[in-house]
Amino acid sequence: YINFHSYSQLWMSPWGYTTSKPAQFKLQDDGSAKAVKALGAVFGTNYVHGNIGSTIYIASGNTVDWTFGTANITFSYAVELRDTGEYGFLLPEDQIVPTGKETLAGELALLEYIEGKVYA
């Protein structure tokens, strides 16, 4: 499950209000790292990855929490796209195609990673 937003971040939820990491954290985090590397390789956009609380702010009740904790979807991610705060959710037209290209590269890298873990 991938949830898209606008801001240069890729993260996973630590599930709920706890500061302890779930057992699958490393599995999720490694997938996130692969996606971030692929995203950045397209145009050099600087992305970071990690759990929501350490990359942006403490947040609870988000979709990633629900998909991981309730729907039991191990690979639950939220993506903030390439803006660094200047445009927010309203990226200029000239950033639409580059955003799509780098996001697709990240998704493909993540899917390849997941496939290797699920079907290995």
- Which residues 6+ apart lie within 8 Å of 41 measured at CB? 105
Burial (CB < 10 A; 0-12, 13-18, 19+), residue 31, is buried
Whether residue 93 lies in the annotated active site: no
The active-site residue out of 80, 93, 102, 115 is: 80
Alpha helix ranges (H) inside the chain: 25-43, 52-55, 63-69, 96-118
Among 29, 25, 5, smallest CA distance to 15 is for: 25
The residues annotated as belonging to the active site are 80
